[in-house]
Amino acid sequence: MIDAAGIEALKFRGDPLADDVITELVATDQVGAVNEVLARFRSNDQPVPEELPPPVRAYLLATDAVPDWTDLDRVAGAYDFFIDDGVHVASVLSFGAMVNCYAQPRPSRVLALTHRLNQPHRRLSETAQFVLDMMAPAPFGAGGAFLPTIQKTRLIHAAVRYFITHSGTWDVEADGVPVCQQDLLGALLIFSVQVIDGMRRIGVSVTEKEAEDYYHVWRVTGALLGIPAEAMPETLAEAQELNATLVEASYAPSPEGVELTRNLLDLYERMVPGRMFDGVVAAMVRQTVRPHVADWMGVPHSRGWRGAVRAGARLMRLLERAEDRSRIATAVLDKAGSLLLTGSVRVLCDGQPTTLNIPAELKEKWLASGACPAGRR
């Protein structure tokens, strides 16, 4: 596993392959034209558009293959996990992982500089589509849509780096590179290791094999995003260790993080009907993140819903133990997971700026549990 000096060096490392493309596009004033073409580039099966400038075509061709160590059996195992527990994964991503991301001052400052403090729906929908594409069958193969999603995300990161470093508002020597490899590695650990931890905190049983398979898919994704392979732990146990020393150790309050969290909670609260449920979102966040993180991010206490959410987590643990023996228990458990997700899924399915394309198998499962209303895409 990478040592402390190597981790520190990642703070000053961008993504030369993608960064060079953005530098060329800005210099030749082709950003807008390329964006229009890439908006139509959505499937793993699509050929690279001929009308793209040579540097963009070369970049897309160089980044469309998974690393040699990818285990497709584990990718398939992760898909089975998504089919059974995708609602719970998305729930923890919505209520926990987003807030944990905001507990990192440097990435939160980047969001502030890109004017996204007051656009929680956009960040949430973009994150959700990224994960939905990853949840699809064969996300890296024929019929999938994840490779273009990753490639375009990598270019977005490069564009953010370019414009922030040229804005005069960022001190690279003191703060490192914006959207640096260290920050990307931290996000990967939040969306993988911490999601598994969060699922277990709300009472969802995750087997070691499921957890390892889920982490493996994120590790493959990290490599495609340009994170050095040697920086990403090979095993979940090693990833948990790095999560504690790198990510959780970086948590701290910041004005940007607090504002981002407040806007996110406001978004969720607007989607929960009736005053009877006031406070339930804050209680869910507090169930999925560490208490001191919730305090730093200004997540309100909700005494009434806190007990109900904790009781719900205990009920889910009991139902998990009965799941293999009882169809009723399985149905109740899936419904409980979908209810946790109702607010965020309805936001994402109700026409926010990024339209979600939900894989058919996942949509069928979620429709059966009531998480996503019929007729939405």
- Residue 373 vs residues 12, 345, 353: alpha-carbon distances, Å: 45, 9, 19
The answer as to whether 111 is a domain residue is yes
Number of domains in the chain: 1
The answer as to whether 293 is a domain residue is yes
The answer as to whether 364 is a domain residue is no
Other Cβ atoms within 10 Å of 257 Cβ, number: 26
Nearest to 108 by CA among 215, 261, 329: 261
- What residue numbers bound the domain in which 60 lies? 4-350
* pLDDT the model gives residue 106: 95
Distance CA 345, CA 332 (A): 19
Q: Which pair of tokens denotes residue 148?
A: 């273009």
Secondary structure class of 377 (helix, strand, coil): coil
* pLDDT the model gives residue 177: 97
pLDDT string in tens for the chain (377-residue length): 778 899 999 999 999 999 999 999 999 999 999 999 999 999 999 999 999 999 999 999 999 999 999 999 999 999 999 888 887 787 788 788 999 999 999 999 998 888 655 566 677 777 778 888 898 889 999 999 999 999 999 999 999 999 999 989 899 999 999 999 999 999 999 999 999 998 888 778 899 999 999 999 999 999 999 999 999 999 999 999 999 999 999 999 999 999 999 988 888 777 655 554 456 778 878 888 899 999 999 998 866 545 444 544 444 444 454 444 344 434 434 444 444 444 444 443 343 333 445 556 555 655 555 545 444 44
* pLDDT the model gives residue 21: 96
Query: Cα dihedral sign for 102, 195, 219, 361?
Result: negative
Q: Any idea which residue has 């005494």 for tokens?
A: 303
Nearest to 335 by CA among 91, 23, 60, 26: 91
Q: At a CB cut-off of 8 Å and minimum separation 6, what does 120 contact?
A: 260, 263, 264, 266, 267
- Residue 195 vs residues 32, 151, 157, 356, 377: alpha-carbon distances, Å: 36, 23, 23, 21, 25
**DSSP assignment string, 263-276:** HHHHHHHHHS-SGG
Max CA pair span of the chain: 63
Backbone angles phi, psi at 145, to 5 degrees: -135, 15
* pLDDT the model gives residue 271: 63
The answer as to whether 317 is a domain residue is yes
Q: Any idea how long the chain is?
A: 377
The answer as to whether 21 is a domain residue is yes
The answer as to whether 363 is a domain residue is no
- Work out the angle at residue 28's Cα, subtended by the Cα atoms of residues 27 and 31, and round it to the nearest 5 degrees: 90
Which residue type, as a one-letter code, is found at position 204?
A: V
Nearest to 77 by CA among 236, 243, 239: 236
* pLDDT the model gives residue 340: 40
Distance CA 75, CA 134 (A): 10
Q: Which pair of tokens denotes residue 299?
A: 């997540």
Distance CA 153, CA 147 (A): 10
The answer as to whether 326 is a domain residue is yes
Q: At a CB cut-off of 8 Å and minimum separation 6, what does 181 contact?
A: 10, 11, 13, 14, 15, 226, 227, 228, 231
The answer as to whether 82 is a domain residue is yes
- Work out the angle at residue 49's Cα, subtended by the Cα atoms of residues 43 and 55, and round it to the nearest 5 degrees: 115
Distance CA 83, CA 97 (A): 20
* pLDDT the model gives residue 353: 36
Backbone angles phi, psi at 48, to 5 degrees: -65, 125
Q: Which pair of tokens denotes residue 163?
A: 């414009």
Q: Is 271 exposed, middle or buried (0-12, 13-18, 19+ CB in 10 A)?
A: middle
* pLDDT the model gives residue 365: 56
Other Cβ atoms within 10 Å of 27 Cβ, number: 8
